[in-house]
Amino acid sequence: MIMKTRSFALGCAAVCCALAVALPIRTVAAIDDQQFKELKDLVTNLGQKIEKQDQRIEQLEKTHTQDAQVHAQDQKAHEQDQQKIQELEQKLGETQRTVSDAQQQTAMAGPVEPLPRMPLEEATVNHNFSILGDAEVQFAKTSGQHGTFLFADFAPIFLYRGGENVLFEAGVDITLQNNADQNGNRTGGASTHFDLSFAQLDYLMNDYVTLVAGAMVLPLGTYEERTAGWLNKIPDDPLPRDLLPGAGVGAQLRGAVPLGQNGKLLNYSVWGVNGPSSADGTAGAGALDLGGNVGLRSDNAVANLHGHPSGGARLGAFMPFKPHYDLELGLSGQSGEWDDAGQHLWSAGVVDASLHLGANFDVKGEYIRSWYGSDDGNIRPEGWWVQSGYKLAGLNLDWPMINNLELVNRYDSIHDGLGTRTRRYTVGYIYYLSNTLLFEGDYEFLYGNDPTKNDQVIFQLSYGF
């Protein structure tokens, strides 16, 4: 029994010794080189982080210092603003006292009618100024004369829209001409001629009536209203247009009424103007003056040259059948006194027509008849013209430049009622360099007994803007 107990105790002691020897070895072997290296790296990283944190703290301290400085500046600016506000309040107070004093004085002076206020749509900033127009340069050769370059015309049109329903428009023709004396003898140099072709105020009273007043383009036929250097297909005007006044000083009502939804319409114009007059005060047949009665005489008297104004009217119908196929017809006339004594009437009637057959062909014309009494008897000038144009684009040829070419021709005839007759055949072309830049050329064959009219070739460059 005692041996067993001692044996058991010795065994336990041996186990304990073994454990005591084993444990310290494991404890020493728990931190080897690799782990030491990792610890070292860890400590190094921690040191770097601490260094970075120190730098950041330093930057924050600097920023805080700068913010403090800015805040100090803002504080100063705020104080200055406060001072300015106080000054403005003082001035406002003074102004209010001044206004109050003025009101008291006004009240003492008596009641004042309030100014009428314009309707809002007219008073808004809804105005616009535009310049349109055209300019032409020519080279012309008249039979029996030297060929020449010619600045034919510069015709600006000024438009001023004052609101929704009001337009003021004016057109000027500016030309150059060699100087001459009263007898027509050359004197050297050249002069610039300004001709106010029209200046009128347009007021749209409603959808169907427009009031026009001023030096108006007269709708005797349609040529005068639709003429411009870059619109006319031939450089010069039809001969019989000389039988009519192109403009007149007066007033007019005009408008248009659509008929249905397919574009048909009727339009009308009714006007009263001073009318034609006598160039020398007599009633001789050759004294008729179509454009010289504008209401302000050469002696500065404000007066019509004869007793009564002339009246006129035009009625027109436009009938489109399909795109680019349409017919327009119009009938117009004007009548009134012309001589100073008011003994004779001058009258004119015009039938106008325009036809489009497709996008490439058009034909138009006018028949003009006038008649007037005179001390030399009744005079009956008349004339007519017809003009056509064909754009070669209608041939559908794939040739270069051909699509920009249009062939034009015109026949016009005039009899002035005093024995002078002229017929003219014109053939020509238009080359469209662009939609607004035209190069035109034509040859005019003249027949008649007017010695001032001869065969002519004209080339023209025309620009519309």
| d(C-alpha 371, C-alpha 347), whole Å | 5
Contact status: 405 vs another protein (CB under 8 A): no
- Indicate if the alpha-carbon torsion angle 142, 143, 146, 147 is positive or negative: positive
Residues 6 or more apart whose CB falls under 8 angstroms from that of 433 comprise 404, 439
Contact status: 145 vs another protein (CB under 8 A): no
List the interface residues with another protein, window 21-60 (CB under 8 A). none
List the interface residues with another protein, window 406-435 (CB under 8 A). 411, 413, 421, 432, 435
Q: Which stretch binds another protein (CB under 8 A): 56-64, 154-162, 239-247, 342-350?
A: 154-162
List the interface residues with another protein, window 213-232 (CB under 8 A). 217, 219, 225-226, 228, 230-231
Residue 227 burial (C-beta neighbours within 10 Å; 0-12, 13-18, 19+): middle
Please, are residues 208 and 444 in contact by the beta-carbon 8 Å criterion? no
Selected binder of another protein within 172, 175, 251, 263 (CB under 8 A) = 263
Chain centroid, CA 322 distance in Å? 29
List the interface residues with another protein, window 441-460 (CB under 8 A). 446-451, 453-454
The pattern of x and - marking residues 268 through 307 that bind another protein according to CB under 8 A reads xx--------------------------------------
Q: Which stretch binds another protein (CB under 8 A): 2-10, 189-197, 280-288, 314-322?
A: 314-322
| d(C-alpha 403, C-alpha 397), whole Å | 8
Contact status: 262 vs another protein (CB under 8 A): yes
Helix and strand numbers, DSSP H then E, in the chain: 3, 18
The pattern of x and - marking residues 321 through 360 that bind another protein according to CB under 8 A reads xxxxxxxx------------------------xxxxx-x-
Residue whose CB is less far from another protein, 214 or 276 = 214
Selected binder of another protein within 174, 253, 256, 331 (CB under 8 A) = 256
CB of 180 to another protein, least distance (A): 23
For residue 130, which of 153, 98, 157, 103 has the smallest C-alpha distance? 157
Contact status: 156 vs another protein (CB under 8 A): no
- Amino acid at site 297: R
CB of 292 to another protein, least distance (A): 25
CB of 109 to another protein, least distance (A): 44
Selected binder of another protein within 241, 254, 344, 424 (CB under 8 A) = 254
Residue 364 burial (C-beta neighbours within 10 Å; 0-12, 13-18, 19+): buried
For residue 235, which of 366, 384, 430 has the smallest C-alpha distance? 430
| d(C-alpha 273, C-alpha 251), whole Å | 7
Please, are residues 248 and 294 in contact by the beta-carbon 8 Å criterion? no
DSSP string across 290-311: SS---SB-TTS-B--SSSS-EE
Selected binder of another protein within 260, 299, 301, 377 (CB under 8 A) = 260
List the interface residues with another protein, window 184-203 (CB under 8 A). 202
CB of 219 to another protein, least distance (A): 8
Count residues near another protein (CB under 8 A). 74
Residues 6 or more apart whose CB falls under 8 angstroms from that of 159 comprise 128, 129, 130, 131, 132, 167, 168, 169
Chain centroid, CA 335 distance in Å? 36
Residue whose CB is less far from another protein, 156 or 320 = 320
Residue whose CB is less far from another protein, 264 or 292 = 264
Residues 6 or more apart whose CB falls under 8 angstroms from that of 195 comprise 172, 173, 174, 175
The pattern of x and - marking residues 85 through 124 that bind another protein according to CB under 8 A reads ----------------------------------------
Contact status: 261 vs another protein (CB under 8 A): yes
How many C-alpha atoms does 432 have within 13 Å on its Cβ side?
A: 17
Contact status: 386 vs another protein (CB under 8 A): yes
CB of 82 to another protein, least distance (A): 46
Selected binder of another protein within 150, 159, 174, 317 (CB under 8 A) = 159
Residue whose CB is less far from another protein, 345 or 355 = 355
Distances (CA, A) of 138 to 149, 153, 320, 411: 6, 9, 36, 21
The neighbour count for residue 426, using CB atoms within 10 Å, is 23
Contact status: 312 vs another protein (CB under 8 A): no
Contact status: 309 vs another protein (CB under 8 A): no
Contact status: 242 vs another protein (CB under 8 A): no
| d(C-alpha 384, C-alpha 207), whole Å | 34
